[in-house]
Amino acid sequence: MPAAKNKPTEAGREERGFGRSGVSRRQLMSMAGGSVALGALLAACGSDDSDSGETGSTGPTGSAMADDSTAQFGKGDVGIMNYALTLEYLETAFYDDVAKSGLFKGGDLETIRKFGGQEAEHVAALTAAVKQAGGKPAPKPKTEFPLNNAGQVLRLAATVENLGAAAYLGQAARIRSPEVLAAALSIHSVEGRHAAVLNTLLGKTPVPDGPFAEPAAAGMVLNAVQPFIVS
């Protein structure tokens, strides 16, 4: 282990704090993460592309490319950005609720606030970008999350972040404008970082899909977050 481990670092505190919440790896695996779980989730969401769970290293575009669920948010890049904006609103609200829940303290709470703050920055940037492209930003959805205990919240956070990273990846090849693509990519890798941190805190691998992260189509993602949207 690195020398840094001797110091009571923020990460170390988080690890211990979250460790106490008694999270089961199997529970997380059943919610999100590994390719098998994601594949099952895709199937459960009624994806009509049988290849969606088994994407190759050079062509993981299939179902995400064919899925046109972002059209309900607007045409082309505006629709994609509004879809992303909706997810970012949801993430921001989630972290906000969690921070207020009193379930976390100290370093854990700091991490939650930090991630929530970054999601809020994504909301601001996407809102501006949609306007810049001549579109109308999607409205902020009303949300509600189950916040019964720290373990449940952490598992949900990991699920949401892994799904968010997969959602961005699923749109990359559909984006027309190189500028929008560049912005989306710079957000995408941050979602990946968040997901890796949460997985690590749960004692799970930071790379649940192995060497190649898997994309998720918009239709599947929207179905998956539907339970948290009340209007």
Partner 1 sequence: MTEIKTENEMAHPELAAVEVEGTERSDFLLKGALAAGAIFGLGAVSPFVRGAMGAGGGKGDVGILNYALTLEYLESAFYAEALKKLSLKGGLKDLITTISTDEDAHVKALSQTIRDLKGKPVKAPKVEFPYSDVAGFTKLAETIENVGVSAYNGAAPMIKSKEVLSAAGSIVQVEARHAAAIALQNGSRPAPDAFDKTMTQAQVLKAVQPFLTA
User: Given the rule CB under 8 A, which residues bind partner 1?
Assistant: 1-5, 7, 9-12, 15, 57-61, 65, 114-115, 117-118, 121-122, 124-125, 128-129, 131-133, 165, 169, 172-173, 178-183, 185-190, 192-197, 200, 205-207, 209-215
3-state helix, strand, coil in the chain (%, to 5): 65, 0, 35
Give the shortest CB-167-to-partner 1 separation in angstroms: 11
Tokens 């993981």 found at: 60
Measured between alpha carbons, how far is 86 from 178 in angstroms, rounded to an integer? 21
Angle of helix 150-172 versus helix 218-225 axis, rounded to 10: 160
Give the shortest CB-154-to-partner 1 separation in angstroms: 15
Nearer Cβ to partner 1 (155/194) = 194
Nearer Cβ to partner 1 (79/230) = 79
Nearer Cβ to partner 1 (10/229) = 10
- Would you say 64 and 218 are in contact if contact means Cβ atoms under 8 Å apart? yes
Nearer Cβ to partner 1 (16/229) = 16
> Around Cβ 219, how many Cβ atoms within 10 Å?
22
> Around Cβ 48, how many Cβ atoms within 10 Å?
10
Nearer Cβ to partner 1 (19/146) = 19
Give the shortest CB-227-to-partner 1 separation in angstroms: 25
Measured between alpha carbons, how far is 148 from 98 in angstroms, rounded to an integer? 10
In angstroms, the Cα distances linking 210 to 116, 203, 207 are 26, 16, 5
Give the shortest CB-202-to-partner 1 separation in angstroms: 12
**Three-class SS of 20-46:** CCCCCHHHHHHHCCCHHHHHHHHHHCC
Nearer Cβ to partner 1 (79/192) = 192
- Would you say 34 and 158 are in contact if contact means Cβ atoms under 8 Å apart? no
Give the shortest CB-209-to-partner 1 separation in angstroms: 8
Nearer Cβ to partner 1 (131/142) = 131
Tokens 């950005």 found at: 81
Give the shortest CB-20-to-partner 1 separation in angstroms: 17
Give the shortest CB-107-to-partner 1 separation in angstroms: 11
Please tell me what DSSP assigns to residue 72. G
